[in-house]
Amino acid sequence: MKLKEFDYYLPKSLIAQYPLPDRDESLLMVVRRETSSIEHRRFREIINYLNPGDLLIVNDSKVLPARLIGKTENNRKVELLVIPKKEEDGKEFNVLIKNSKRLKIGARIHVGENIYAEIKELNQGRGKISFTSSESLIDILKKVGHTPLPPYIKREDESLDKERYQTIFAEKNGSIAAPTAGLHFSEKLIKDLRENGVKIARITLHVGIGTFAPLKHEKIEDHEMESEWFEITEEVAKEIEETKAKGKRVIAVGTTTTRALESFVNGEGKLIPCKKFTSLFIYPPYNFRVINGLITNFHLPKSTPLLLVSAFAGRDLIFKAYKEAIDKGYRFFSYGDAMIIL
């Protein structure tokens, strides 16, 4: 398939710049694959589309304040996005660097208080850094880091983002972007769902470059996903098997959750609990072996999440849904509205 088949025009006014006051007041588009029907609701009404015994699976990864804003010794502004890796136990960390053209290896960037980042490696906007502080990476980021809002949010991060760019499930540090489908759930909505007999399980996938890196090849099959770390416990694997055995649905909250779930099925279709990296790239056509439904946001043109939802619902139905969303003024991307595909 060609990448241009997954392009669309989006008015800039529909790119959400702030979250709505309440998490669950977002719009919810209900898309049914069997009938190609589309309904328009509020997210809090999702309770009417989930049945007792259904299993919702959420991503409990927590977004790190991984964006550093600093100045070089000659007062040039530099931005760093720190990319934590599970296997990194040393003192050097991978980064994406904005304004890297005149930087050199050995350059020191003052990122706040008495903390400097020293450039150890440099290669076309990517590199490695070490910190002058002896503190852990998490402690450094908590002290001087900023919420890593995506570039289509055209403002600086604010105090509200510390809460609202995290899901209510966020527990395990490791992501550099939010698993945005989970942003719509409020504590009250989760309580109501549980009282209705809907089960909720947690997996972890730390969102890294793989999720949002742009596709560079016109031939989709040539794209290679960068790996991201995920964990699925034995308890969750058992819960999924039991749900399926009872004829109930497994519904993934987000494309990151979907990729994790589809990565832990072996060749015989058996669910294998694991802690490992995945570079699974899902695009049409794809045979989904775990999920029966998907809750997701509206994604960027020509992006890997858009390809994934197109694989799940079919490209034509997704593009019909996106056109309707644009016509009805839905809000797009991270702080935007949601869709449930059944």
In a domain, 268, yes or no: yes
- In sequence order, which ranges of 145-302 are alpha helices (DSSP H)? 159-164, 187-195, 209-212, 234-245, 255-263
Q: What is the pLDDT of residue 266?
A: 81
Closest CA to 201 of 249, 245, 267: 249
- Report the distance separating Cα 139 and Cα 336, nearest Å: 30
Residues 179 and 133 in one domain: no
| Domain final position from 146, 178, 202 | 146
Residues 229 and 333 in one domain: yes
Residue with tokens 């996005």: 81
Residues 23 and 142 in one domain: no
Residues 10 and 116 in one domain: no
| Domain final position from 88, 121, 146 | 146
In a domain, 101, yes or no: yes
User: Measured on CA atoms in the order 39, 312, 165, 71, is the torsion positive or negative?
Assistant: negative
- Report the distance separating Cα 170 and Cα 128, nearest Å: 27
Q: Any idea what the Cα angle at residue 209 is, between residues 9 and 18, rounded to 5°?
A: 55
Residues 21 and 126 in one domain: no
Q: What is the pLDDT of residue 214?
A: 83
Residues 52 and 189 in one domain: yes
Residues 77 and 142 in one domain: yes
In a domain, 211, yes or no: yes
Residues 45 and 167 in one domain: yes
Residues 106 and 219 in one domain: no
Q: Distance of CA 319 to CAs 6, 13, 267, 297, 322, Å?
A: 8, 19, 32, 14, 5
Q: Distance of CA 260 to CAs 226, 272, 315, Å?
A: 14, 11, 22
Residues 233 and 89 in one domain: no
Per-residue pLDDT of the chain (342 residues), as tens digits, is 899 999 999 999 999 999 999 999 999 999 999 999 999 999 999 999 999 999 999 999 999 999 999 999 889 999 999 998 765 556 889 999 998 778 999 999 999 989 999 999 998 889 999 999 989 999 999 999 999 999 999 999 999 999 999 999 999 999 999 999 999 999 999 999 999 999 999 999 999 987 878 898 999 999 999 999 999 999 999 999 999 999 999 999 999 999 999 998 887 778 889 999 999 999 999 999 999 999 999 999 999 999 999 999 999 999 999 999 999 999 999 999 999 999
Q: Determine whether 90 is exposed, middle or buried from the number of CB atoms within 10 Å of its CB (0-12, 13-18, 19+).
A: exposed
Q: What is the pLDDT of residue 288?
A: 97
Domain range enclosing 72: 67-146
- Report the distance separating Cα 81 and Cα 68, nearest Å: 6
In a domain, 83, yes or no: yes
| Domain final position from 146, 178, 196 | 146
Looking at the structure of the chain, the number of domains it has is: 2
Residues 169 and 298 in one domain: yes
In a domain, 157, yes or no: no
Q: What is the pLDDT of residue 86?
A: 64
Residue 285 preceded by cis peptide, ω within 30: yes
Structure tokens at 141: 């980021």
CATH of the domain at 301: 3.40.1780.10
CATH of the domain at 73: 2.40.10.240
Residues 32 and 55 in one domain: yes
